Amino acid sequence: MRGKPMRDDQPCTLPEAVGDYASSTIARFHMPGHKGRSLMGPLGAALAPWDITEIAGMDNLHAPDGVILTTEQAYAQAYGARHSFLLVGGSTAGILAMLLSLGKNKRVLLARDCHKSAIAGIALAGHTCDFIYPEFPKGAPFCGVVTPEAVAAALSRRHADAVFLTSPNYYGACADVASIAAVCHRHGALLLCDQAHGAHFPFVPELTTLVASAADLWCVSAHKTLSAMTQSAVLHASLSCPIPDAHIRKTLSLIETSSPSYPLMLSLDWALNQAQSGEWERHAQRMHTLRERFEAHPPAGVSLLNGPMLDFTRLVFCVNGRGISGQMAQDALIARGIMPEMADLASVVCITSPADLDAWYVRLLTALEALPYGDGVFSYLPPVAAQKEPVVSVRDAVLAATEYIPLEACAGHICAQAAGAYPPGVATLFPGERIEQADVQRMCAFRDAGLSLFGITEGQTACIKTEKAV
């Protein structure tokens, strides 16, 4: 019976199946231990009945043939995919699965602005990396993107089994995925795309061309911009992806929990239905109106990032013209009841969605007008100091015996753990690369500006133990 819908009126959706069960008086002699009755006080009282396990009629995420499969098929249709796989481990799970599905010990052309989870996937699969660097025009206020020309040049120099890139990045900048996919396929390489921040693209007419459906595999984080709960994401296989769905599903079973959260899967179903309701079209118009209002009366020393191939629903305010850093601006906004997504040395990033209240935007524009002035000189600092070649493989570096060295003293050692500013989670120190003084200075600049660091433990950096400083 496991996996077969309980309702007689077919087809049955995941919310219908779980909703029927949640409202029933059945005796629950199964996991979880709260039995639908006792979980986290008032919040849990509403959520607990819906938090179930893979009982009869509720399908199985790792081998769906019922209500979960119905939701996956709905996502595939919405995103133009051959098949879509629900993820309860965020896009991190999707990124790991994409890289592991290639097999082991492959060569991957990896965009150097990748999220730290891609580094984990490279290490787990034992892949060898060559890097491709996003373009960064001098004086630009944010990290650029990988171009088709750069991918073509890199693949002409050396064959790769796959290319892995991020589009959009944290600033909403998008790569030309379709052109890059064509380049990859001409060179016999697959294209994998981390589109975690672009889950809303299919539902905004001006952004539909940016959907990464030309990639062989791509993932989206439904919790980042859609209305799904945190950790809810989807992995898509394109119509032309040569990797069989069964193999992708097998790979996912290696890295995802065998007890997936039904509230997360329910939220994925809900998020898709909400996104298809027309709310994103209305929100897009709200964003156009807000941008017009801002440009008509911009606060002194503050500019709003604009440009082609940019997600206009993401608001990136460059504040260095006011003599303050992005972190200083974020602190001032928080003091006025506004919590941005992130800040760097030059800007503040705000993620918007249809769930935003109109009053929030009034508050935001008012707070931007009231930002303090300073006398500092701040500019965007890319996560990576210089292009360089790895000394050992990512896998060998991550699994090597490790010693922890103060950040200020680690130059000359080989990095054993990715480290950088988070968000956006791009590694300044990359496992297998020799740490240079410029890398240390960049990390210290991030730290001293008040940015959060990942991969640094009590001020110390993980380095390969047997490697001596030079």
Contact 336, 395 (CB under 8 A): no
What are the residues facing 369 on neighbouring strands? none
For residue 385, being part of any structural domain is answered with no
Mean pLDDT value of segment 236-254: 98
pLDDT band, residue 2 (cuts 50/70/90): very low
Which residues, including other chains, have CB under 8 Å from residue 269's CB and lie 6 or more apart? Answer: 13, 14, 15, 71, 74
Q: Are residues 297 and 332 in the same domain?
A: yes
Rounded distance between C-alpha atoms, residue 143 and residue 148, angstroms: 16
- The mean of the pLDDT values for the chain is 93
pLDDT band, residue 467 (cuts 50/70/90): very low
pLDDT value, residue 29: 77
Mean pLDDT value of segment 411-416: 96
Mean pLDDT value of segment 42-55: 86
pLDDT value, residue 351: 96
- Res. 140: pLDDT tops 80: no
pTM of the entire predicted model:
0.93
Instruction: Point out the domain boundary residue: 369, 403, 423.
Output: 369
Which residue range is the domain that position 28 belongs to? 1-58
Determine the number of helices (DSSP H) and then strands (DSSP E) in the chain. Answer: 14, 17
Rounded distance between C-alpha atoms, residue 251 and residue 253, angstroms: 5
Q: How many residues does the chain have?
A: 470
Q: Are residues 42 and 109 in the same domain?
A: no
Task: Find the CATH number of the domain harbouring 331.
Answer: 3.90.1150.150
Contact 346, 171 (CB under 8 A): no
Q: Are residues 115 and 196 in the same domain?
A: yes
End-to-end CA gap in the chain: 64
Q: Which tens digits make up the pLDDT trace of 114-129?
A: 999 999 999 999 999 9
Q: Are residues 124 and 79 in the same domain?
A: yes
- Look at residues 69, 71, 66 and name the one whose alpha carbon lies nearest to residue 3: 66
- Res. 34: pLDDT tops 70: yes
pLDDT value, residue 8: 52
For residue 376, being part of any structural domain is answered with no
Q: Are residues 228 and 364 in the same domain?
A: no
Provide the percentage of residues in the chain whose pLDDT is more than 90.
Answer: 85
DSSP secondary structure code for residue 133 in this structure: P
Q: Are residues 206 and 81 in the same domain?
A: yes
More confident residue, 132 or 141: 132
pLDDT value, residue 469: 45
- Look at residues 85, 69, 62 and name the one whose alpha carbon lies nearest to residue 253: 62
pLDDT value, residue 4: 45
pLDDT band, residue 139 (cuts 50/70/90): low
Instruction: Point out the domain boundary residue: 369, 402, 437.
Output: 369
Which residues, including other chains, have CB under 8 Å from residue 287's CB and lie 6 or more apart? Answer: 312, 313, 352
Task: Find the CATH number of the domain harbouring 172.
Answer: 3.40.640.10
Q: Which tens digits make up the pLDDT trace of 414-455?
A: 999 999 999 899 999 999 999 999 999 999 999 999 999 999
- Res. 338: pLDDT tops 70: yes
Q: Are residues 328 and 399 in the same domain?
A: no
For residue 80, being part of any structural domain is answered with yes
- Look at residues 187, 192, 189, 188 and name the one whose alpha carbon lies nearest to residue 167: 192
Rounded distance between C-alpha atoms, residue 301 and residue 324, angstroms: 9
Mean pLDDT value of segment 328-356: 95
Q: Are residues 363 and 406 in the same domain?
A: no
pLDDT value, residue 7: 47
Rounded distance between C-alpha atoms, residue 316 and residue 304, angstroms: 6
Q: Are residues 349 and 226 in the same domain?
A: no
Mean pLDDT value of segment 337-363: 95
Q: Where are the alpha helices (DSSP H) in 158-297?
A: 177-186, 245-255, 262-275, 279-296
- Res. 363: pLDDT tops 70: yes
Q: How many domains does the chain have?
A: 4
pLDDT band, residue 213 (cuts 50/70/90): very high
Which residues, including other chains, have CB under 8 Å from residue 470's CB and lie 6 or more apart? Answer: 412, 434
Mean pLDDT value of segment 384-389: 81
Rounded distance between C-alpha atoms, residue 154 and residue 109, angstroms: 8
Q: Which tens digits make up the pLDDT trace of 61-84?
A: 999 999 999 999 999 999 999 999
Q: What is the DSSP string of 259-318?
A: S--HHHHHHHHHHHHHHTTTHHHHHHHHHHHHHHHHHHSPPTT-EE---TTB-TTEEEEE
- Res. 55: pLDDT tops 60: yes
Q: Are residues 312 and 409 in the same domain?
A: no
Helix (H) or strand (E) holding 464: strand 460-464
Strand duo 347-351 + 342-343: pairing:
antiparallel
pLDDT value, residue 27: 84
For residue 265, being part of any structural domain is answered with no
For residue 105, being part of any structural domain is answered with yes
Task: Find the CATH number of the domain harbouring 450.
Answer: 3.90.105.10
Strand duo 342-343 + 314-318: pairing:
unpaired
Contact 357, 327 (CB under 8 A): no
pLDDT value, residue 81: 98
Instruction: Point out the domain boundary residue: 39, 58, 77.
Output: 58
Cis peptide before 382 (omega within 30 of 0): no
pLDDT band, residue 141 (cuts 50/70/90): confident
Query: Crossing angle for the helix pair 245-255 and 90-100, nearest 10 degrees?
Result: 120
For residue 91, being part of any structural domain is answered with yes
Q: Are residues 324 and 238 in the same domain?
A: no
- Res. 93: pLDDT tops 50: yes
- Res. 53: pLDDT tops 80: yes
For residue 311, being part of any structural domain is answered with yes
- Res. 241: pLDDT tops 70: yes
pLDDT value, residue 35: 79
pLDDT value, residue 80: 98
pLDDT value, residue 136: 73
For residue 115, being part of any structural domain is answered with yes
Q: Are residues 107 and 239 in the same domain?
A: yes
pLDDT band, residue 255 (cuts 50/70/90): very high
More confident residue, 45 or 102: 102
pLDDT value, residue 177: 98
